[in-house]
Structure 1
Amino acid sequence: MALENWTLHDLRRTLATNLGRRQVLPHVIEHILNHKGASLTDIGEIYNLYSNVKEKREVLQMWSNHIEWLIKQAADDALAA
């Protein structure tokens, strides 16, 4: 399968879209993407130093599990063909 006009940025977009679909809170997605949250004010950025490490770890583990499942499904389909 050819992917025309594909860039690495598409991986970020795919991740953000799929995390949103899984009801991951937008600020956690923003932290994972290392974006400045649109909802944060300059004051909020100065005073809120919480890094969301626990939340990011949990979400990225969930995403890793999903990718592993997709790979297993593809391998199973290939064996069945």
Structure 2
Amino acid sequence: MINISTKQLVDKVEITVKDNSGSMTSEKFSRLDSPFPSDKVEGLGLGLTIVKSILLRRCSSIRFFRDGHDCLTCKITVPVIV
């Protein structure tokens, strides 16, 4: 199951994505935002690396957390534009 939520901070918005659909090994988690970690037949494994690069250039951030073996959480923080 995937859960998406948002939270207003002072001058930023935090987007949280939680995925508890399966376990992720410690090895896979440690390589999650590194280039070329994909174990898929198709794809280069550059998706999260590109996303992280774009966010950092926009004064934003992306972080990953593990909650035990079953839940992966991604927190994306972006500035509020008024």
TM-score (norm 1): 0.24
Of structures 1 and 2, the one scoring higher in RCO (CA 8 A, sep 6+) is 2
More helix by share: 1
Is the radius of gyration larger for structure 1 or structure 2? Answer: 1
More strand by share: 2
